[in-house]
Structure 1
């Protein structure tokens, strides 16, 4: 299935299609035709050990979505603070990473952290508390949020409407992570979590975004270790490609990209 998806993407890019693409209707910052958000979920050691140094080498900024109860946050707090000082975003990924245990493949969800048994108001309180905790870590007052597992139906309904005003942007999951600019909704942006792809396959994802959309969100978990992992070599190859094509791809934190979108909405009179 993975290979099928890869070759399907490559099929979009045959011949000299990339060279013949028309200019983007509305350019991103610095005239780039595609905005690329690289995210890293779940507060993992390999993100500090492998992903962050690679991002620094290539001069790229990314978003790290922290599960605030994680021992990797508590044990390596100074390093997360340093990442924020280097211009990376510390995003909100909730206190306890509640997902819906009733959904297929979610047998790992513990009863104490099951979204199915969590009230929407309780979940909202926890997420907003997460913002206060993140402010104590990095001093920032504006956040973005990635919904754990893409699940947002609590025991008594959807909790996202309760927290949306507190975030400049939210990722909710779905599809290839490619979003057309005209269809972009800041608090419901699609994101794709690649697992086990090689460098060429990762590059194909962002090239497909240039062919069929205006923004692509990729969210990694482990990089060169941990779980749902992408190899360090594949990750490095993607970063090298993005760094060498800065005129086409604006790679930045999700928060900065959403701020740019909000500024354009405000200029156009949309809220």
Structure 2
């Protein structure tokens, strides 16, 4: 009788040229009141035109925006900025001195290349304190000046995204090329798409694309006037506000912080029932749980089933991949949790990692609803990056391979 599971070193069965991508389907993101998308308007620097006519125009439509401010920019008209706060707009942190790359000549004396993380932390805290002193509100959201997210130069370059993640609810970029995916997005790196010097007709396709994909579109601008450089046109804002207020268009328009809080709340409610691929970073020596929620389903007919937190697939071209970042190399027992009906059982599968391959036959589990857990072999994994792939061991014309819930990697000798 053929052994159920065997270990060998083979060339992976699936060619990397098989790049059919069928990302697992999560439910539509549940925007409030059945809306199709979220839309946030944001403005940088505390420009003099922002309180009036900018915020004043938005108030006519009941639309509230986020104003990312450099405190010194508000000092010439604090009364006007207090009106902005009183009317319900959000005030965000845009740094104390607006540091950017020294490649901008005007930023040479405040170049990010000359910053350290501690200097940035100190100035962000000071900006928060100054905003609170001037306006009575403490910023919860941040926008990266010039959209740049680093400090230092060359080998001393460091990202300050982790600092923003620690200090703020969200961090917004600048001149990005895609809306925010509410399921996947890193809140400290929200994409901000430019709305300066654009007509409503140029902005509308961005809105329509975000609505089609049930995304969150964060628009970013500066001045709010009728014309000029780095200006969000008042004519565009009027058309956009009217469009967003039309219930037929299914848009929830709200400040960045309000949407960010809502997204985080909904993510927490749905945790464990969504397929959001991502690299796993276990601590040294700990058991690794590669769940279906973190796996990447690739193929023409791969399915993530949230009711079972498992992948099922129906062609030999389907596969599931997990990426790992390990602090040290080591040997691991591999346990697979799966289900299959008696009728569909018996097909071969392969699990590969680099040039190592574990082969096996999918045994009956009792039913599709009954999951079993079995050791299928051992793998030697490398320090740093590893990819683990589960796929069919041979072509099959009909039926299904199995429903795969998780892999568990248990350190050997720990």
User: Which TM-score bucket, shorter chain as reference?
Assistant: 0.7 to 0.9
CA RMSD in angstroms comes to 2.2
In 2: Cα distance, 1:150 partner to 1:256 partner: 21
Equivalence for 2:233: 231
For the residue of structure 1 that corresponds to 2:95, the secondary structure is coil
- 1:14 is matched with none
Question: 1:95: Cα distance to partner?
Answer: 0.7
Aligned to 2:300: none
Aligned residue among 36, 45, 50 for 2:48:
45
- Listed one character per residue, the Cα deviations across residues 63-96 of structure 1 (whole Å, up to 9, x for unaligned) are 00101222xx001111111211111001000011
Which residue in 2 is equivalent to 1:140?
A: 137
- Determine the C-alpha separation between the residues in 2 that align with 1:213 and 1:269: 19
Aligned to 2:334: none
Match of 2:170 in 1: 169
Q: 1:92 to 1:211 in 2, by over 3 A?
A: same
**Which of the residues 82, 100, 111 maps onto 1:114?**
111
Where in structure 2 are there 5+ consecutive unaligned residues?
1-26, 273-414
Asked if 1:243 is matched to 2:245, the reply is yes
Contact 2:101/2:108 (<8 A) preserved: no
**Structure 2 residue 132 is matched with structure 1 residue 130:** no
**Aligned position for 1:153:** 150
* Counterpart pick for 1:262 among 261, 264, 273: 264
- What does the per-residue CA deviation read over 1:174-212, in whole Å, with 9 as the maximum and x for residues that have no partner? 533412222222111111122321121122221121123
- Mapped partners of 2:268, 2:108: distance in 1: 43
Residues in 2 aligned to 1:113 and 1:226: alpha-carbon distance in whole angstroms: 26
What SS does the aligned partner of 1:41 have? Answer: strand
Q: Distance in 1 between matches of 2:123 and 2:193?
A: 25
Query: In 1, Cα distance between the equivalents of 2:40 and 2:244?
Result: 11
Preserved CA contact (<8 Å) 1:99 1:149? yes
1:75, 1:48 → 2: CA distance?
12
Whether the 8 Å CA contact 1:44–1:226 is kept in 2: the answer is: no
C-alpha displacement of 1:161: 1.4
Show the 5 A alignment for 1:1-271. 25-70=28-73, 73-102=74-103, 106-107=104-105, 109-141=106-138, 143-155=140-152, 156=156, 157-224=158-225, 225=227, 227-245=229-247, 248-268=250-270
* Richer in helix (by share): 1
Distance 2:142 2:248 in 1: 26
CA distance in structure 1 between the partners assigned to 2:214 and 2:146 by the alignment? 24
Runs of 4+ in 1 over 4 A off after TM superposition: none
- Count of aligned pairs between the two proteins: 242
Partner of residue 366, structure 2: none
Tell me by how many angstroms 1:230 deviates.
Answer: 2.7
Larger Rg: 2
Contact 2:101/2:107 (<8 A) preserved = no
Instruction: Name the CA distance, whole Å, in 1 between partners of 2:271 and 2:213.
Output: 27
Higher strand share: 2
State the partner residue of 1:17.
Answer: none
Cα distance in 1 for partners of 2:46, 2:137 equals 18
Is the contact between residue 127 and residue 163 of structure 1 (CA under 8 Å) also seen in structure 2?
no
Q: 1:135 and 1:186, CA in 2 relative to 1: closer, same or farther beyond 3 A?
A: same
Q: Which of structures 1 and 2 has the larger relative contact order (alpha carbons within 8 angstroms, sep 6+)?
A: 1
**8 Å contact kept, 2:164–2:171:** no
Do the aligned partners of residues 223 and 246 (structure 1) sit closer, same or farther apart at CA in structure 2, a change above 3 Å counting?
farther
TM-score (norm 1): 0.82
User: What's the TM-score, normalizing by structure 2?
Assistant: 0.55
| Residue of structure 1 in register with 2:357 after alignment | none
